[in-house]
Amino acid sequence: MSFSCPFTQPNEGTVDRVIRVIIGSVALLAGFFWLAGTAATVAYIVGAIALATGLVGFCGLYKLLGISTCPIKK
C-alpha cells in the first residue's frame, strides 16, 4: 500500500520502507522513554520523518538525488 499523489511516485522499495518504519518507531520510543532535552527533540524529528517516509513510500531526498529502491518501472 502506497500513498498515491499525482506529484509523487513511490521511490522506496519494501525493504527500505520496513527499515524506515522500524528506525522511526525506535527513535520515537527512545525520545519518549529514554532521552531528554535536545536529544529527545532530535529523536522525535528523525523518528517522525523516517516513520512518515516509510509509511508513505516516498522520500523527497531520494527524489532530489535521483535514487529509487522501488521496483516499479517509471
Sequence spans of domains, the chain:
21-65
pLDDT of residue 70: 87
Burial 22-59 (b: 16+ CB within 10 A, else e): eebeebbebbeeebeeeebeebbebbebbbebbebbbb
Q: Encode pLDDT of 9-38 as tens digits.
A: 888 999 999 999 999 999 999 999 999 999
> For residue 57, what is the enclosing H or E element?
none
Residue 7 banded pLDDT, cuts 50, 70, 90: low
Question: Could you give phi then psi for residue 7, rounded to 5 degrees?
Answer: -95, -15
Number of CB atoms found within 10 A of residue 3's CB? 12
Q: Encode pLDDT of 47-74 as tens digits.
A: 999 999 999 999 989 989 988 898 866 5
